Amino acid sequence: MMIKDLGAGVVTVWNDLRPVTKKLLVGLLETPASASHNRPLQKFSYDAHADWELGRLLTALDDQVKTSNKKNDPEKYQEISQLAETCVSILEAQSGSAEIFIQLAERALYKNDFDRLDKLSDRLFERFSVSEIAEIVRQTELPQIRAIAYETLAMLPVSTIVPLLDDSLYEEIAVNALEQKAYEFESEEARDVLEQMDLNPDR
């Protein structure tokens, strides 16, 4: 794969990647499909900067796909799509970021890939912190993604939601999640917390 042939926007972002991130991407692209796709990830130290790099690259690749003519240059289109899918696979496996979740979920909705959206929802419950899930609610503009985040919050223990009540950014989100937990999931504990809030409005 020749990165220089994938479009100016992709080249600009690629040139800004750290060597370790480039090495990871190249390693995954060169790994045979029959081999474990997680093998190169085992030696990769993932951090917030990798999140940012891969998210940026994915955006550039998706933008390039929208402007590429699949019929006129199917090889280039396939290479862009393959690199984009590699970015997605890493982000799905490693990221715990609200911004990245929103990016991946929006992408899945755009492609009508509801199986991928379901798997993203599972990872949200398994890996993300309660504050990052609340941040998804706060940041997203799409009701489908907001609903996924709220449902995930409502499945968490009440004790993990309550601390959000002390944060002005997330207080309303926490109340909504507790109400969903109380009335849709029939949680007595959530009802108790809501009743205590009514008794102590200055909480």
Asked if residue 38 lies in contact with residue 81, where contact means CB atoms within 8 angstroms, the answer is: no
pLDDT band at 4, cuts 50/70/90? confident
* Mean pLDDT of the residues in the chain: 89
Average pLDDT over residues 132-141: 97
**Residues 6+ positions from 48 with CB-CB distance below 8 Å:** 97
Tokens 């990165």 found at: 3
pLDDT band at 103, cuts 50/70/90? very high
Q: Is pLDDT of 123 > 90? A: yes
Taking only Cα atoms into account, the Rg of the chain, rounded to an integer number of angstroms, comes to 20
Question: What is residue 84's predicted lDDT score, i.e. its pLDDT?
Answer: 94
Question: What is residue 202's predicted lDDT score, i.e. its pLDDT?
Answer: 54
Q: Is pLDDT of 104 > 70? A: yes
Q: Is pLDDT of 83 > 80? A: yes
Q: Which of 35-39, 115-119, 126-130, 180-184 has the lowest mean pLDDT?
A: 35-39
Query: For the whole model, what pTM was predicted?
Result: 0.88
CA angle in degrees (0–180, nearest 5) for 167-173-178: 105
Token pair listed for 173: 């989100």
Q: Which of 4-18, 71-85, 163-177 has the lowest mean pLDDT?
A: 71-85
Question: What is residue 65's predicted lDDT score, i.e. its pLDDT?
Answer: 84
Question: What is residue 69's predicted lDDT score, i.e. its pLDDT?
Answer: 66
Q: Percent of the chain at pLDDT above 90?
A: 69
Higher pLDDT, 53 or 28: 53
